[in-house]
Structure 1
């Protein structure tokens, strides 16, 4: 049943051929490059190894740091020192007078007393200027040196005295006056090493040349300098002459903060200006700056295509064994467990604990003897999963393993152990070769604390084992993300798709698995807070990056959003941690998030969690669509919102985007034939916003009924029909989404929309390895001729096989290649008419 030693040796050949096949695999396909990636960066100063390049290297652990302008660093900088190189207008008898303002801390200008017993020097500024600080280093007598400033009208003010106690050091003199001239005077001779003055402010600059003019919409900045600086601003320019303030940053926050530039500005040059405190030994610092267009760090929304499945098939919910009742689901009352949660989804995802099945991962689970055959002797997955299926829930299992339960050193052979587990699981539960209880599995939930190479071996083994046992079992990796490679540098959050998803596993996977919650760093506090799903800076928009990764590397395959949602109060349970939203906001965002994910073509969107957890408010304890067991799983407003949506439009298909602007999002839905049936619309703002807008839909439709999902009641309220004039509906929109059922007499089928639908093509080969007798399962969007070919990487074998007259949908075809020499081959499937090509490795055994 399982690979022998020789089979594993053949697997090594498989790895080699896979490397060649996936040479175009782009592990960075999900990343939106910052405009700063190839920029030229300079600065007003640098401090040792903390050079300017550190500010755009993508690593927030490195930084640019300036030199300290005070006490004396600024005097040689003409941008900081207003007196640099300005010769005195008058003085008493002087020696080396040019040394007074030459920007050097070597040598001194000396001034002797005149016949009146006075020594002095006066410097006129080229232009009267507001001065914040005058400082100089001097050697004076017992009577000291008096510092006087002259205003443009001739008025003078003594602002301080340099005493002998400060000899050979710099002394500071503060003022807020507009100054035309500065005078130093004494009744004794004195000498000055350097005299300097600071204008209205003292600043250090980081200058970035993007190389070309760009539209600047978002700036991600980490510029913590609280103890050194008063403020930080980012300036933008097309020509380095005229500068416009793009954002004011918060230098008190030790985080990378997204700042929106609104409206977006055209700029080639970016300047991060840090206004320094007028204190000694203070330095400016920038750990990282990234610059993007108005679409932000995750990039633009992709072009939409009509959906190939109704909305209800996308919607599901995360659950656990017993749904929080601490007993089998079939023992729950009629309105609890599966009977409750099947009202808000057509599929359910279970955290299937691997440790419940086996105490040691090298043990192969035996499911046929349940209860009694697994590590938890009382456990009967058949009983639990059958109850879920009876309730109409398609079952998705996340095979959960963690280092705390199953540490790496417990896996003697990670690949083999995972293969055996996957094979046993799919053989027993699979859709065709098993009992049909489970539709898809994930190789791990969030096993991000395992070493990446270790996880790759587990993924490859479990995925291949499951596919060998039942090719119809859909297989996905653990939850990964494709936008941020820096997560691999941290401790327990290592989840970068480009590292943890190897190209040689792609052939056994049916798509990507991702988790995205809607968070943003609050620009006023730095705290992570929840935000609305359409926000370009929301982490939920990371799904756009994942779509790009999928399209580049696994085109046509699925994407599961197996966790998403918002923490909120409700059902009598409070929510008061940073990521909380109101119960009304949770309801609004649930609807808006579903519409957005549907428009993006996500195959499954699974809400986290079924219910609140039965203890205090903390991250994810209040994400349920219902309250906890403590309140008898009372539904929250979001529950009723999702339930109502599925009842009213669950059978509808997304057809097209009507509007996706900063003011209005609106989508058209229809039936399976492309006939429009519904419009959904809202203003993409925070749920607390009272702002409104109007949207004209000029398609000739009229409304039959309209519901508003504002989360204020259990049953979404019917509202006033939109005004209609000459075939144009005027929609009044707020943060609360509305659902408009269209009058069927005013719409017709849209064949053009139907034709734009894109279907996934998929090829499965089984068994693999084989002795040359195997089958292929073609799942095709369109029928037509499909050619097949087999070749080896060394070129010795290259032969055309069958040409298949395939139908759209599923096709099974057998191949008998008994005379083929054992080894690794590439099986190629081509449907030229529809530009579909698939290549997979097969192994022929002796």
Structure 2
């Protein structure tokens, strides 16, 4: 989206099927996502994040980044590429692109490079937002040869495959850097808000050219053409489509003929009634929310591209309202933005989407009512790149649940108020789980303060429970006291003081793993289990030795400094328990490492201490 545009989404209602625990039926949706939270959440950004020195901050909220890669920026003149940080780019000395990529790698961010727009010299009109077929009509693959060349050079540089230097047109001849695996060929090629349009059949011909150089011939002037010819293992992501249009998709299929010239299906969706309104819609809404759009895309995928992953690479809400109460049609306000983004991520996991990318990293203009101008999780530079509540909510999500795996939808809009509950399992695949819960007013378009007082979460055999809620200005949330009655029995129930539209994280421990296909991990001669995690004072470590061993426990901060070493002596085979009170060490809220040694064996865990 990067360029503002007028957009109006016309959606149809869909039937929502109710859910039962671990047996989910979501309309036409496939199985829920089953990876980790960290591997699901992405953020939209660009090379400016390096210039603004916010890459490290973004890494706290997302481990995937979709980079808008402006073609005219990096090849303003034919065959002069600006990736090496010394070749003049379209805008002077900026962008330091390779340094930007390296900064992302440093912070464990996976990059999806999204090629944005055209160049002036390869454009159909001379404008950078026009189709990239130059003076031609776009009806042949050869009309897109310059874009096929650019993408090949890009992939040859950042992909895994080392390409012969004679095929490289870059100044520094770097190749096979192994930095980037995923490449998106366009951003919203199905635009309708300016001309000339780029119909689906022409876009499909373009896909043939840039995917693997189909019907193109290499030459001295064009030595390398197409993504797959530069790196056969590179993943080609379809340009994010702004709207579901079956005629447009059928045009792509017709042009593709006997194949699908992409690896991942990609779409955008904003929850709104469209132009002329001044408020965005909550993500659960049965007409304007996420589900109707997801259903249509999954239906098309299952019919025409079975087995392909499905990514949603743009969704979000604005936060600015003027003094005269003017706002955009995706406006939600800061608190609702934070709630909607968190809820959307879990809704999408439950629907079976494979990745979700939030739009945007920072506001283009924090005091503009133009759509998408204030949808960042940070303010613009004029306002100091300040973090909004959404930033802290997302940081809390990553810090507490980043390594947890999504298991199932436990409740989907049940009751009045509607309750939503999603189950995740700890990275150790033990008896520790987390329920993400919230409620809302059935049928409401916007959050209205709906709250359930003393909500009862009843599940058999809960042994322990701890509740964390995300709050502004905190990256680990805050603990909320809960009451657990009938612990460890068939009638165990957790009483939550107030369940609201803000998602909360209920960490629980059962007396045995739930009936899903995950088992405890056994490392050589012992296994261990920590609870609660996160915790706000004392953590309990249950462990079982297969043979007798001398044992001790070590606490480290994330810089590797040893904080304490607890010698527990020789322990016999069987089950044991150790309690560690972090409040004795005057530690700040954060992530720490607990290392257990048993004889010659050791095991370490990340734990989250919430002071």
Scaled by the length of structure 2, the TM-score of the pair is 0.65
Contact 1:304–1:599 (CA<8 Å) still a contact in 2?
no
Q: Which residue of 2 aligns with 1:241?
A: none
Counterpart among 207, 223, 234 of residue 459 in structure 1: 207
Structure 2 unmatched runs, 5+: 1-7, 19-24, 137-141, 163-175, 191-196, 213-225, 520-611
Contact 1:575–1:622 (8 Å) recurs in 2: no
Structure 2 CA distance for partners of 1:312 and 1:536, relative to 1, 3 Å: same
Instruction: Work out the CA distance in 1 between the residues paired with 2:250 and 2:318.
Output: 29
1:423/1:466 contact within 8 Å kept? yes
Out of 128, 137, 144, which is 1:405 matched to?
128
Deviations 1:87-140 (A, max 9, x none): xxxxxxxxxxxxxxxxxxxxxxxxxxxxxxxxxxxxxxxxxxxxxxxxxxxxxx
Q: Provide the secondary structure at the position in 2 that maps to 1:654.
A: strand
Deviation digits for residues 403-436 of structure 1 (CA, Å, limit 9, x no counterpart): 6316445255334233222222211111344212
Equivalent residue number for residue 430 of structure 1: 159
- Please tell me whether the aligned partners of residues 463 and 476 of structure 1 are also in contact (alpha carbons under 8 angstroms): no
C-alpha distance 736-375 of structure 1, shift in aligned 2 (>3 A) = closer
Check 1:665–1:407 CA distance in 2 against 1; reply closer, same or farther (3 A cut). Answer: closer
User: What's 1:667 paired with?
Assistant: 422
Q: Is the 8 A contact 2:42 2:356 kept in 1?
A: yes
**In structure 2, how many angstroms separate the alpha carbons of the residues matched to 1:582 and 1:723?**
35
Is 1:473 the counterpart of 2:239? The answer is no
Q: Which residue of 1 aligns with 2:388?
A: 636
Aligned equivalents of 2:287, 2:229: Cα separation in 1: 41
Structure 2 residue aligned with 1:393: 109
Given the alignment of the two structures, is residue 309 of structure 1 paired with residue 65 of structure 2, yes or no?
no
Number of the residue aligned with 1:618: 370
Higher RCO (C-alpha under 8 Å, 6+ residues apart): 2
Which secondary structure state, in structure 1, belongs to the residue aligned with residue 38 of structure 2?
Answer: helix
Cα distance in 2 for residues equivalent to 1:600 and 1:294: 11
1:318-337 maps to which residues of 2 (within 5 A)? 318-323=44-49, 328-329=50-51, 332=52, 336-337=53-54
Aligned residues: 443
Q: CA deviation at 1:300?
A: 4.6
- What's the secondary structure of 2:39's corresponding residue? helix
Note the alpha carbon deviations across 1:616-675, whole angstroms, 9 max, x for none. 222111101011101110000000000001101110011111111342111110035644
Distance 1:386 1:510 in 2: 25
CA distance in 2, matches of 1:313, 1:652: 10
Residue 576, structure 1, aligned to residue 340, structure 2:
no
Match of 2:97 in 1: 381
* 1:339 is the counterpart of 2:56: yes
1:247-258 mapped onto 2 (5 Å cutoff): none
Q: Decide which of 513, 516, 520 is 1:752's aligned counterpart.
A: 516
C-alpha deviation, 1:724, in angstroms: 3.1
RMSD: 3.5
Asked if residue 519 in structure 1 is aligned to residue 275 in structure 2, the reply is no
The aligned residue for residue 171 of structure 2 is none
Structure 2 distance, partners of 1:610, 1:457, is 33
Aligned CA distance change for structure 1 residues 511 and 733 (closer, same or farther; 3 Å): same
Larger gyration radius, structure 1 or structure 2: 1
Deviation of 1:555 after TM superposition, in Å, equals: 2.4
Residues 773-807 of structure 1: per-residue CA shift (max 9 Å, x gap): xxxxxxxxxxxxxxxxxxxxxxxxxxxxxxxxxxx
3-state SS of 1:527 partner = coil
Q: Is the 8 A contact 2:56 2:107 kept in 1?
A: yes
**Does the CA contact (< 8 Å) of 2:468 and 2:504 recur in 1?**
yes
Q: 2:503 aligns with which of 727, 737, 748?
A: 737
Match of 1:202 in 2: none
Residues 1:365 and 1:456: Cα distance change in structure 2 (over 3 Å): farther
**Contact 1:695 / 1:733 at 8 angstroms: preserved in 2?**
no
The residue number in structure 2 matching 1:354 is 71
C-alpha distance 400-481 of structure 1, shift in aligned 2 (>3 A): closer
Rounded Cα–Cα distance in structure 2 between residues aligned with 1:576 and 1:307 = 34
Cα displacement (A) at 1:594: 1.2
Give the CA deviation at 1:308: 3.9
Please give the secondary structure, in 1, of the residue aligned with 2:203.
Answer: helix
Gaps of 5+ in 1: 1-254, 259-289, 489-495, 756-846
Cα 1:472/1:750, change in 2 over 3 Å: farther
Q: Secondary structure at the residue paired with 1:621? A: coil
Whole-Å separation in 1 of the counterparts to 2:271 and 2:243: 16
Structure 1 CA distance for aligned equivalents of residues 412 and 81 of structure 2: 51
Whole-angstrom distance in 2 between the partners of 1:420 and 1:724? 65
